[in-house]
Structure 1
Amino acid sequence: MAIGEFGGAPPLAAEGSPALTTPMYWMYEMAHASLNPARAVSDATKILFQNPLNPWSHTQFGKQLAAACELFERTTRRYGKPEWGISETEVAGIRVPIEIRSVWEKPFCRLLYFDRKFTRPVRSPQPRVLIVAPMSGHYATLLRGTVEAFLPTHEVYITDWSDARMVPLSEGRFDLDDYIDYVIEMLHVLGGNMHVIAVCQPAVPVVAAVSLMEARRDPFVPVSMTLMGGPIDTRRNPTAVNKLAEERGIEWFRSHVITKVPFPHPGVMRDVYPGFLQLNGFISMNLDRHVDAHKALFRNLVKGDGDLVDKHRDFYDEYLAVMDLTAEYYLQTVETVFIKHALPKGQMTHRGTPVDPSKITRVALMTVEGEKDDISGLGQTEATHDLCSSIPAHRRVHYVQPGVGHYGVFNGSRFRSEIVPRINDFMLSAANPKSMLALAAE
């Protein structure tokens, strides 16, 4: 299964004509609606041929027909926002229930808190961490595994970005500057003593937000920031998606991939980079893998291999659930990060104010990269250390995880067993400068 495409780089957008850009979304909606009757018939047929009372359901023909019907339905449906599915965690060997609730909200984002309901007080307060999820096409639930890995040892908050097609036009614009404002405001709401983790795309706005806060001597600056597989300087070891952005230029993206949200979505007439187009780009990057995965699904459905079928469903229910991005945010990000390389060149500004990472002095820095990352190439995140030159050397850590790609930087078995313990140690040391100095000396 192609999981390397998750992340913050601009996907390989489908070729198109500027003349078709405006009605593109409307045509997609019409095509989707036209398949509703066929999906209904397919679903009914699948139920009929999976019914144990139907003698045909026990034949090879019946099993193949039911499998084909499920395959058709799954490849033509629209996947909604996945549920978090996190109801409990284990803290110090004790199962603790979880309540997920919003503690801050604006039109384009909610701040979710995974409230662990302890039956008795914890002996010592655990680190508080804000996970800034990518706003790059997939929902924040993509980081379900990341959240689960930190819950046993941290108080966890995460950004839950909104689908632009669900935000009415009356709520106004949302661009990269607004994203940075949101991060700063969330840190203020959380009241200090926070650690920040930026996964993929948010690395740039998080560095910008912390730089601006440090320049103002903001008392709510985080204790540490951990950047994971982020495109800080895409001139280093550029990947295919990095090269695409530079070759095409911002006007190509503006004329080929921006369209308006159609009725009846709440965000009707908002200019967006649509999720379905982004998904097309994701799939085209590894088309053979996706085709093979669905062939395997058909075979496993016929065989009745429930475990492999459930594994496929779980992955693709998440992978195929995509959200729209506001046009202004998408275009500003592509231009600032992938075309102009504004942050590493010292040219990035936020509402006219220069963004200077060298102003960061009180925040410990950790960068994490995957050895086989084909989205944010090796060295792109590490570049942060050159920019944050005022952070003492003993308060900076860089780690490369062997044998993993982009997705493995923030999820999977190696993430849980090798990356998370290192981040935990880094956060604990960052909160105790003397401890971090001793760690660096070792």
Structure 2
Amino acid sequence: MLYQLYETQRALLSPFAEFASASSKLYRHPLSPFGQGPGAQRVSAGFDLMHRLTKEYEKPQFNITNIQVGDIEVVVQQQVALAKPFCKLLRFKRYTDDAQQLTRMRKQPSVLVVAPLSGHHSTLLRETVRTLLRDHKVYITDWVDARMVPADAEAFHLDDYVRYVQEFIRLLGPDINVISVCQPTVPVLAAVSLLASAGEFTPRTMTMMGGPIDARRSPTAVNNLATNKSIEWFEHNVIQRVPQNYPGAGRRVYPGFLQHTGFTAMNPDRHLNAHYDYFLDLIRGDDDSAESHRQFYDEYNAVLDMPAEYYLDTIKTVFQDFALVNGTWRVAGELVRPQDIKSTAMLTVEGELDDISGSGQTAAAIELCAGIPKTRKRHYEVAGAGHYGIFSGRRWRDFAYPEIRDFIAKYNKQ
């Protein structure tokens, strides 16, 4: 019922969002008589803010069409390497007419970025991908909004997530390097562990960034919510059925709009101040700052629905039973044994000020993977970085990325 009410509200607000957008342009356009009166810029800014607060945010695009590799600009084409019901494996193929640069690029390491299935779209890692493309061949998991998956498709559990990751690794081959950001650190570690236990090849390197490997350490507000409520509470209070106007009608999901409410509630003052600053930037005519705000919130406000089975599995397995660190997690009956990983080099990355995955949660993977020699394991903390700062922004570019790049290069020498 809650999802239907949300859809009704969205439909009712849609005309107001369009009206606000048109009114903002009317009071801003230099040839409009409404734009010549006193306070016109303030009125335009108010309507613009109203538009952004009431509009629907669709899934953004990566929009990575070219990058700078060395001193040459290279064209980038986004391709679908493999399509699954709940995920598309994307490849960012680089092209250049420069023969020497092409030869160098072909020798660069391949990287699989496993994006979170935790509310936001994989485009949240746009800057991560763009930066990696300078020195790597890049693939990324692009998770599908559960409401867009036809209802007759099978349910999607945490075990299925692990199997998807295994399938992608097998497809890309033994030279692949895996980077997992936030939530997928746990299923990625499980996937690689099971491959090792079965005697299959494992990635050359595995980089785990800001994830809840051991959510008991330095618990955050996210961890506390998961441990203070029963699994029944989550099932009865946040799980909804997709309305009839979507392909996945009837599917049980954790809706994106509920997740977004939770994201915002964690730092309400920060978001209020950001919107007020945006209003002031519009009045002052600070177009660069206003555009920066739009780009961030176009991404932040675009959320997807998660399959209910996957979400509930994750809450119980990762945040309540701590099954990975307790050695009790079984995937399709097979025990997850990180100690069986022998040859894959491991790097764990944490942000000093991360308020989503607390200090030490990701580094716990170092201890769990006892079979990897100490000389092939490393932990790096990004000073002054919050959760998003370890994969986007200045600290990602200047500190985290060079560490990851050099670590991958060390174990991928031709």
Q: Which of the residues 21, 32, 46 maps onto 1:43?
A: 21
Residue 312 (structure 2) pairs with residue 334 (structure 1):
no
CA shift at 1:288, angstroms? 1.0
| 1:254 matches 2:232 | no
Letter in 1 for 2:343: R
Counterpart for residue 144 of structure 1: 126
- Farther-moved stretch of structure 1 (54-63 vs 252-261): 54-63
1:395 aligns with 2:376: yes
Say whether the 8 Å CA contact 1:370–1:400 is kept in structure 2. Answer: yes
Q: Which residue of 2 is the match for residue 275 of structure 1?
A: 256
Q: Which runs of structure 1 show a deviation greater than 6 angstroms over 4 or more consecutive aligned residues?
A: none
Give yes or no for contact 1:137–1:278 (8 Å, CA) kept in 2: yes
How big is each residue's C-alpha offset from its partner over 1:87-107, in whole Å with a ceiling of 9 and x where there is no partner? 111112111000011010111
Alignment of 1:180-259 (within 5 A): 180-219=162-201, 221-259=202-240
Deviation at 1:152, TM superposition (A): 0.8
Distance 1:251 1:60 in 2: 57
Task: Give me the whole-angstrom Cα distance separating, in 1, the residues matched to 2:361 and 2:254.
Answer: 25
> Residues 395 and 430 of structure 1 are in contact (CA less than 8 Å); yes or no, is this contact kept in structure 2?
no
The residue aligned with 2:393 is 412
Does 2:79 correspond to 1:101? yes
Give the C-alpha shift of residue 61 in structure 1. Answer: 2.5
Q: Which ranges of structure 2 fall in alignment gaps of 5 or more residues? A: none
Instruction: Please tell me whether residue 384 in structure 1 is matched to residue 365 in structure 2.
Output: yes
1:40 & 1:419 partners in 2: Cα distance?
41
Q: Could you tell me how far apart the structure 2 residues matched to 1:37 and 1:160 are? A: 31
Does 2:137 align with 1:155?
yes
CA shift, 1:68, in A, is: 1.4
CA offset at residue 413 of structure 1? 1.0
Identity %: 48
Pick aligned residue for 1:89 from 46, 57, 67: 67
Contact map agreement 2:87 2:144 (CA 8 A) in 1 = yes
Cα distance in 2 for partners of 1:303, 1:428 equals 46
Aligned residue type for 1:90: Q
Paired residue for 2:110? 128
Give CA deviations for 1:342-378 in whole Å, capped at 9, x if unaligned.
Answer: 0000011101111010110011111001111111001
CA contact 1:236–1:379 (8 Å) conserved in 2: yes
For normalisation by structure 1, the TM-score amounts to 0.91
Aligned partners of 1:149 and 1:40: how far apart in 2? 36
Distance in 1 (CA, whole Å) between partners of 2:151 and 2:71 is 48
2:331 to 331, 350, 364: 350
Check whether the contact 2:120–2:304 (CA below 8 A) recurs between aligned residues.
yes
Cα RMSD (Å): 1.2
Give the partner amino acid of 2:95.
K
Letter in 2 for 1:369: E
Counterpart CA distance in 2 for 1:109 and 1:45 is 39
Task: Report Cα offsets for 1:128-151 as digits up to 9, x if no partner.
Answer: 000000110000000011111110
Contact 2:147-2:247 at 8 Å conserved across structures? yes
Structure 1 residue 51 displacement after superposition:
2.2
CA drift of 1:385 comes to 1.0
TM-score (norm 2): 0.97
Give the letter for the 1:232 counterpart.
Answer: I
Distance across 2 between alignment mates of 1:366 and 1:430? 12
Larger RCO, structure (CA 8 Å, separation 6 or more):
1
Deviation at 1:47, TM superposition (A): 2.4
Tell me the SS of whatever aligns to 1:25: helix
- For residues 23-69 of structure 1, what are the alpha-carbon distances to aligned partners after superposition, in whole Å with 9 as ceiling and x for unaligned? 00000000111122222322222222122122331334322221111
The answer for the alignment partner of 1:295 in structure 2 is: 276
Once the two structures are TM-superposed, the CA of residue 178 in structure 1 deviates from its matched residue by 0.4
